[in-house]
Amino acid sequence: QVQLVESGGGLVQAGGSLRLSCAASGNFFSISTMGWYRQAPGKQRELVALANSGGSINYADSVKGRFTISRDNAKNTVYLQMNSLKPEDTAVYYCNALARQNYALEYNYWGQGTQVTVSS
């Protein structure tokens, strides 16, 4: 019942910046948590940043000070501003949302993923 539409991925040089966007649409009462994960080839998917509806934010240690997650609740959209990008940041980035369908049901939803490639 929830669709996540991502945009903003691409190819940048080391030290550059990208801004990812993810907009949620569909039938739901609320979204408690939105966040970003990434997966590099041959590696497990890892958390990049999370933002819940109350404003709490969590970052992976590897991106602290460089990435900023923000959320526009009115638009059901989450953003990831990525600065000072490094080749190690190269991965497929996935948007995630924890959405409540009703008082009894809450599900995780995933975007299709967007490629971020950082060249040296």
Give percent of the chain with pLDDT exceeding 90: 89
Q: pLDDT (tens digit, 9 = 90+) per residue, 6-17?
A: 999 999 999 999
Residue 109 to residue 116: CA distance in whole angstroms = 20
pLDDT digits (tens, 9 = 90+) for 36-93: 999 999 999 999 999 988 889 999 999 999 999 999 989 999 999 999 999 999 999 9
CA distance 73 to 113: 21
Q: Which pLDDT score is estimated for 102? A: 87
User: What integer pLDDT is reported at residue 55 of this predicted model?
Assistant: 84
